[in-house]
Structure 1
Amino acid sequence: MFHVAALGELLIDFTPVGLSNAKNPIFEQNPGGAPANVLALVSKLGKKTAFLGMVGQDQFGLFLKEVLEKNNINVSGLKISEKFQTTLAFVHLDKSGDRTFSFYRNLGADMMLNASDVNYEVIKEAKIFHFGSVSMTEEPVRAASIKAAMFATENGSIISFDPNYRPLLWSSVEEAKKIIGIGVKLADILKVSEEELELITGKIDVAVGADMLFREGVKVVLVTLGKRGCYYKYTGGEGYVDGYAVNAIDTTGAGDAFLGAFLYQICDMKMDELCGLNKNDFKRIIDFSNAAGALATTRTGAIPALPSIDEIHNIRLTR
């Protein structure tokens, strides 16, 4: 049994770590890919996880497989391609630690996962199935992602979806909205940023946009607001939970840490139990998730920056 299984991209984030003597940027090789980041925190906090996806038979792909194994993430659903290379992403940080990406992904291995490559036995064993839209930008992995999510639904898994919108990976905004909309329709739990909420709903007002998604069938809507925390909406209510003030140096993976912390806390719940929580208990789940997301910004990288359970508990004591 797996508490969370996730399908999607597994890649290398090259993160800036300073300048060389010649004043040129130095980049550090870090494991990346939002679904893997989510799993890494769930696993670090003590639950069983499994990854489904594809990397290349190259030094980067083998490094990523090793990282998953070291983080106690099951790799029986990880395919190694001899034909396609592992995707690379270069992270660019501004003065506040906010990041943009440059992708080297022309027929990257993560894009070439076919529906027939997916280990459906892993999904059968998953209480929660998580995926994002980066694995929906191109075929054949788009069809594989949708089929896997539908299979998970049929097998009774809770479906978690993160649009994780990366404009450079889509041919147009219109295509992105259309395909992301498919993921939204499949989702029980939806984690979005303010920008993604506006993209999907056309609404700037967070409460209005979240209500639209809730009325369309999403059972839990989580709108991450950076250092301002999170807006949530579920059957038991809606509202804001404040974030944590930290010295942010790299926001890469912060949203993944937030979502990983959220999924960790609901691993042993059924969907109706989650929706039936009273508002105070639900807000405590969000607060824990906010703490994890904030702490992930205080170190560089994504998986290397994920906090421990003790770090999360300690920062919450500062409230």
Structure 2
Amino acid sequence: MLDVVALGELLIDFAPVSTDAAGYPTLAAQPGGAPGNFLAALQKYGCTTALIGKVGADRFGELLKATLAEKDIGTRGIVADPAVFTTLAFVTLDATGNRAFSFARKPGADTCLRADEVDTALIDEARVFHFGSLSLTDEPARAATRAAVAHAKEAGKYISFDPNLRRPLWPGEAAAKEQIEWGLRQADIVKISDEEIAFLWGLSPEEGAGKLLAEYGVQLVYATLGPRGCHFANRQGCGEVASPAGIRVVDTTGAGDIFGGSAMSRFLKTGKAPAALTVEEMRAITRFACCAASLSTQSHGGINSVPEKAAVQALLEA
């Protein structure tokens, strides 16, 4: 039995480590992709996981699969396709460590996953099925994702969704909103940022969380607030947790995904339905996730930046 199976992009993040006299950056390759980052946190904190997706039959694809295997994330559902390149993302960082992305994805392997390539037996083995909006940007991956979600719902799995908005990957705002709205309506558990709530509805995080609970059928919402922390809510109540102070931010790449995976790991330990969590249980889950995500920003990359559980516990106690 698996705790969580995710579907979506597995890619290489190229992040700047220095700049030459002419202004050209020296880049370091890091394993990433939101679902991979999400699963790496889950695996680090005691859960069993697997990824469904597609990479190129190239050296980067081989490296990514090897990295997941080293993290004990199941790779049976990853297809290596010789017809396309492994997706690449180029990250730029500002003075505070916040990142922006440019993608080599026209197409990238992740967008080429077909419905007949989805290993539905992995979904059958899982307690939770997770996906994000990047697998909804292009066909055939969009159809594959929708088929996988339908299979998971029919099998009675909890559905987890992260909008993970990347504007350059969409043909326009209307297309992004349409597909993200579809994803939100499928989900039991949603991790969404304050920026994504503003993009979709022009609402505050608290209002957006309430809208998801009242109108979308979502049972549990984490509305992240960047460096300020996170607002959490279900039908039992809501609250807010501040991020820990004193964290020196190097790179925020993957921090939201690591928050989501960390929160999911703590949620699964409760053994309860998402709608049944008390406010104090949600607060404890969110505190752990905020600490894990904050610590992850002290190093570069996504998959490799998940902090050890002992470091998270020490920060919680401090």
Asked if Structure 1 and Structure 2 have the same fold, meaning a TM-score greater than 0.5 normalized by the shorter chain, the answer is yes
Aligned to 2:268: 267
Q: Distance in 2 between matches of 1:110 and 1:278?
A: 38
**Are 1:4 and 1:267, in contact at CA under 8 Å, matched by a contact in 2?**
no
Aligned length: 316
Structure 2 unaligned runs (5+)? none
Give 1:275 shift.
2.2
Aligned to 1:316: 316
**Alignment pair present for 1:198 and 2:202:** no
Please show how residues 285-304 of structure 1 align to structure 2 within 5 Å. Answer: 285-304=285-304
Describe the superposition over 1:65-123 as per-residue Cα deviations: whole angstroms up to 9, x where unpaired.
10110110011100000111101000000000000001000111110000100000000
Please show how residues 53-92 of structure 1 align to structure 2 within 5 Å. Answer: 53-92=53-92
Q: Distance in 2 between matches of 1:288 and 1:252?
A: 19
Aligned to 1:212: 211
Letter in 1 for 2:71: N
Give 1:44 shift.
1.3
Structure 1 unaligned runs (5+)? none
Describe the superposition over 1:106-147 as per-residue Cα deviations: whole angstroms up to 9, x where unpaired.
111110000100000000001011100001000000111111
Aligned to 1:232: 232
- What is the TM-score normalised by the length of structure 2? 0.97
Q: Distance in 2 between matches of 1:28 and 1:58?
A: 18
Q: Distance in 1 between matches of 2:289 and 2:32?
A: 20
**Alignment CA distance shift 1:173-1:271 (3 Å):** farther
Give 1:270 shift.
5.2
Aligned to 2:244: 244
DSSP-derived class of the 1:15 partner: strand
Aligned to 2:254: 253
Please show how residues 109-258 of structure 1 align to structure 2 within 5 Å. Answer: 109-200=109-200, 202-216=201-215, 217-245=217-245, 246-258=247-259
Q: Distance in 2 between matches of 1:300 and 1:147?
A: 34
**Are 2:232 and 2:282, in contact at CA under 8 Å, matched by a contact in 1?**
no
Moved over 3 A (4+): 20-24, 268-271
Give 1:267 shift.
2.2
- What is the TM-score normalised by the length of structure 1? 0.96
DSSP-derived class of the 1:103 partner: strand
Give 1:23 shift.
5.6
Give 1:20 shift.
4.4
Q: Distance in 1 between matches of 2:23 and 2:173?
A: 37
Q: Distance in 2 between matches of 1:155 and 1:11?
A: 29
**Alignment pair present for 1:15 and 2:15:** yes
**Are 1:128 and 1:267, in contact at CA under 8 Å, matched by a contact in 2?**
no
**Are 2:13 and 2:89, in contact at CA under 8 Å, matched by a contact in 1?**
yes
Please show how residues 25-36 of structure 1 align to structure 2 within 5 Å. Answer: 25-36=25-36
**Are 1:111 and 1:135, in contact at CA under 8 Å, matched by a contact in 2?**
yes
Give 1:269 shift.
4.8
DSSP-derived class of the 1:134 partner: helix
**Are 1:158 and 1:271, in contact at CA under 8 Å, matched by a contact in 2?**
no
Q: Distance in 1 between matches of 2:300 and 2:54?
A: 25
Give 1:204 shift.
2.9
Give 1:277 shift.
2.4
Give 1:198 shift.
1.6
Q: Distance in 1 between matches of 2:47 and 2:300?
A: 24
Q: Kindly report the root-mean-square deviation, in angstroms, between the aligned alpha carbons of the 2 structures.
A: 1.3
DSSP-derived class of the 1:310 partner: helix
DSSP-derived class of the 1:218 partner: coil
Describe the superposition over 1:43-74 as per-residue Cα deviations: whole angstroms up to 9, x where unpaired.
11121100000000111111101011011001
Describe the superposition over 1:177-199 as per-residue Cα deviations: whole angstroms up to 9, x where unpaired.
00111100000011111111122
Give 1:257 shift.
0.8
Letter in 1 for 2:208: G
Q: Distance in 2 between matches of 1:19 and 1:196?
A: 32
Moved more, 262-271 or 294-303: 262-271
DSSP-derived class of the 2:256 partner: helix
**Are 2:50 and 2:75, in contact at CA under 8 Å, matched by a contact in 1?**
yes
Q: Distance in 2 between matches of 1:145 and 1:269?
A: 28
Aligned to 1:106: 106
Percent identity between matched residues is 42
**Are 2:193 and 2:223, in contact at CA under 8 Å, matched by a contact in 1?**
yes
DSSP-derived class of the 1:156 partner: coil
Q: Distance in 1 between matches of 2:138 and 2:184?
A: 17
DSSP-derived class of the 1:267 partner: helix
Q: Distance in 1 between matches of 2:84 and 2:213?
A: 39
